[in-house]
Structure 1
Amino acid sequence: MTKTKVAIVDDHAILRQGLKVLLGEMQQMDIVIEAANGQEFIDHLQHITPDLAIVDINMPVMKGDEAIRRAKLMCPHLKVVVLSMNREEQFFKTMNELGVDGYIIKEADYDELERAITTVMKGGKYFSQELLLSMVNNRQPTTLVILTEREKEILRYLCLGLSTAEIADKLLIGVRTVEKHRSEMLLRTGSPNAISLVVFAIKNGLVEI
Structure 2
Amino acid sequence: MAKSKLYLVDDHQIFREGLRNLIEIEGIGEVVGESNNGKDFIDKIEHIDVDLVLMDISMPVMNGIEATKLAIEKNPELKVMALSMNGDEDYYYKMIEAGVKGFLLKDSGIKEIERAILTVIEGDSYFSNELLRRIISNLAKPSDKKTEADSLLSGREKEVLIEICNGLTNDEIAEKLFISAQTVKGHRSNLLSKTNCRNSASLVMYAIKNKIVEL
Whether the TM-score (by the shorter chain) exceeds 0.5 is yes
Query: Residue 9 of structure 1 aligns with which residue?
Result: 9
Aligned CA-pair RMSD: 2.4
C-alpha change, 1:184 and 1:46, in structure 2 (3 Å) is closer
Q: 2:167 aligns with which of 138, 147, 161?
A: 161
Give the 5 Å matches for 1:109-148.
Answer: 109-137=109-137, 138-140=139-141, 142-143=147-148, 145=150
In structure 2, the partner of 1:105 is 105
User: 2:185 — aligned with what?
Assistant: 179
Alpha carbons 2:7, 2:32 under 8 Å: kept: yes
Offset from partner CA, 1:107-162 (integer Å, 9 cap, x none): 22222211211211121111121221123323346435166554343222200223
- Which blocks of at least 5 consecutive residues in structure 1 are unaligned? none
Q: Which stretch has the larger CA shift, 194-203 or 59-68?
A: 194-203
**Counterpart of 2:49?**
49
Counterpart contact for 1:152–1:207, Cα < 8 Å: no
* Cα distance in 2, alignment partners of residues 114 and 13 from structure 1: 21
**Other-structure match for 2:32:** 32
Aligned residues: 209
SS at match of 1:31: strand
Q: Deviation per CA, 1:184-206: give whole Å up to 9, x if none.
A: 33444454543332223233332
Amino acid aligned to 2:140: R
Can you give the 5+ residue segments of structure 2 that lack an aligned partner in the other structure? none
2:200 is matched with which residue: 167, 191, 194? 194
CA drift at 1:55:
1.0
CA distance in 1, matches of 2:183, 2:120: 22
Q: Is the 8 A contact 2:84 2:104 kept in 1?
A: yes
The DSSP-based 3-state class of the residue aligned with 2:59 is coil
Equivalent pair of 1:20/1:31 in contact (CA under 8 Å): yes
Following the alignment from structure 1 to structure 2, what is the Cα–Cα distance between the partners of residues 190 and 158? 16
Change (3 A) 1:67 1:205: closer
Residue in 2 aligned with 1:66?
66
Aligned partner of residue 87 in structure 1, secondary structure = coil
Distance 1:74 1:185, change over 3 A: closer
